[in-house]
Structure 1
């Protein structure tokens, strides 16, 4: 069985380390201290890693060997009860070159939370070490007035909630108003909610003879299995590396719900990446897909390719349901997800539900 870490509670210690990007520049520097204050106000002790404010790496916060050593140290330390990543980034793949996931099988499991580039750690944590991880906000995502998305993330860490619902509104990047450029972040009031400027609309699909058919408003889609996935930008690059343990994982676990989203991929590169995953056999045990709004490809069209058929044209032959434009990933709000956990997932109209078992 995939191991579930112990839940934390006020009084525990949360380690903040930077295996990829860190808050060494604004606005992330100021956001970090506000997020830290939020956690401390809730009763947590924050343990800062030496990597946190380093800025001596190339495309990454610091030397990947240094980042990996601190990540492993934090994971093994008895005085660190959970870990929240300092940020996303671009080159955490170079950090995990120096992470021994096999050795983490024998370590007391603890929660690790982050998203985007942190897929590099969470995915093999589940598929190699067989430990659950939370695909959710990095530390800067807690630097605001906490609303349901933030309290949901903490609820997963604390184990106080087992059923989660998607949110009603989201931030459409195309509709965001451009404010004045900020030069002094010490004057910024972070204690405000996000401006969710658009109504969330799910696209729920079933397949008939390999062709995607949109489910009716009152038609309920349901699936049960182990949640697995993350950022497709990262996952497609793992295929065929020593961190690709999907053949063995698929032999052990037969029902998988893929939870996927994308950051920098265009509709074309997104479609190629999904094809890559399918052809590598990753989707052999797929029971369904929950697909988040992709940051770059959202609403874009390239020669007829868009973020919908990037998925449906490739996975349609599997004949399993697909829920698209879910609150997963880079376009806020983010519904945190426990990768490696068994859950029931359902969608009816615009109502997405995840119930952990």
Structure 2
């Protein structure tokens, strides 16, 4: 596994929009605010031409979006890359990426989540480059950073390689209301990591891979699916899958897990950590916990659900491709990243 260098104050952060751009509120205001925050901290921030564009669910056509990402990755003056947003159709950029060129330059961290799974997952499985599954750049626009964002910055600087569960999480997002675009999270619900088979304590070690289930099922079985090669290469480490979901409801989660399992993705799995799902409404008499249990129970590996990452904030960063140690006990948990 190739690990990019951490950055220092004065480094250049590159912003791109491989899916949606930030041309509407609250994202436009948050993006501008996030840039000011990082500039005030001593960083330089550069944007590709279409970060603030959006038409027909994309910041630009697929080839342009791919080339703008490539331009940042191949630019030796750019030290860390953020996506400015998720979206729906980032998958269309994959045919335009030149993986050989990306392989031949020094690696750098790319960070994003949700639709950005199309990049975080493929860069790691195709090129053995660690990526960061974590908040998109506009999240850093809030006036007073939550500890999740402060910790993310410390990781970027190489100062923090362990994340811990937070005390509370948000259900009702008030930040889309006019006048509250830069507010912090509305934390009202108690965090509760669940060991799915009722274990008093789970301790896991292995190599992390995963992302947003909604996106992974689109990659599965295509020419961009290098999962089997990845899990065979790192089988001795044990594979820990980190998964979360956005639009998928209970039936969709069940179908997605069935698909990936029967495609052979979960071979060599040593455990799973599942982020809080955005759509957790029960369907008939099946809730989201049973949806995961239904197709993971026969793998006979530990499963932790409702961890602090994904579409329900606050979210800690996940170093995709890294070795890690996970602990879950008494409704709380932690992940220690080992960059080997």
CA-based RMSD of the aligned residues comes to 1.5
CA contact (8 A) 1:102 1:128 kept: no
Secondary structure in 2 matching 1:11: coil
For residues 141 and 264 of structure 1, the distance between their equivalents in structure 2, rounded to whole angstroms, comes to 20
Q: Which residue of 2 aligns with 1:209?
A: none
CA contact (8 A) 2:193 2:305 kept: yes
Per-residue deviation, residues 118-142 of structure 1 (Å, max 9, x unmatched):
0000101000011000001111111
> What's the CA shift for 1:28?
0.9
For residues 109 and 180 of structure 1, the distance between their equivalents in structure 2, rounded to whole angstroms, comes to 35
> Taking structure 1 as reference, are residues 125 and 196 closer, same or farther at Cα in structure 2, changes over 3 Å only?
same
Q: Which residue of 1 aligns with 2:70?
A: 72
> What's the CA shift for 1:172?
2.0
> Taking structure 1 as reference, are residues 224 and 99 closer, same or farther at Cα in structure 2, changes over 3 Å only?
same
Alignment of 1:140-159 (within 5 A): 140-144=138-142, 145-159=144-158
> What's the CA shift for 1:193?
2.6
Q: Which residue of 2 aligns with 1:35?
A: 34
Q: Which residue of 1 aligns with 2:201?
A: 220
CA contact (8 A) 2:26 2:176 kept: no
Secondary structure in 2 matching 1:33: helix
Per-residue deviation, residues 132-162 of structure 1 (Å, max 9, x unmatched):
0000111111111112100121122111012
> Taking structure 1 as reference, are residues 69 and 179 closer, same or farther at Cα in structure 2, changes over 3 Å only?
closer
CA contact (8 A) 2:30 2:181 kept: no
Q: Which of 239, 246, 265 lines up with 2:227 in the alignment?
A: 246
Q: Which residue of 1 aligns with 2:312?
A: 331
For residues 223 and 286 of structure 2, the distance between their equivalents in structure 1, rounded to whole angstroms, comes to 32
Secondary structure in 2 matching 1:214: coil
CA contact (8 A) 1:127 1:246 kept: yes
Structure 2, unpaired ranges of 5+: none
| 1:320 and 2:301 aligned | yes
Q: Which residue of 1 aligns with 2:185?
A: 194
Q: Which of 212, 229, 246 lines up with 1:231 in the alignment?
A: 212
> Taking structure 1 as reference, are residues 238 and 189 closer, same or farther at Cα in structure 2, changes over 3 Å only?
closer
CA contact (8 A) 1:227 1:343 kept: yes
Alignment of 1:343-354 (within 5 A): 343-354=324-335
Secondary structure in 2 matching 1:108: coil
Q: Which residue of 2 aligns with 1:266?
A: 249
For residues 288 and 168 of structure 1, the distance between their equivalents in structure 2, rounded to whole angstroms, comes to 24
Q: Which of 126, 145, 157 lines up with 2:124 in the alignment?
A: 126
CA contact (8 A) 2:205 2:323 kept: yes
For residues 27 and 162 of structure 2, the distance between their equivalents in structure 1, rounded to whole angstroms, comes to 31
For residues 288 and 152 of structure 1, the distance between their equivalents in structure 2, rounded to whole angstroms, comes to 25
Secondary structure in 2 matching 1:141: helix
Aligned residues: 335
> What's the CA shift for 1:220?
1.9
Q: Which residue of 2 aligns with 1:86?
A: 84
CA contact (8 A) 1:3 1:131 kept: yes
> What's the CA shift for 1:180?
9.7
Q: Which residue of 1 aligns with 2:48?
A: 49
Secondary structure in 1 matching 2:96: coil
> What's the CA shift for 1:102?
3.9
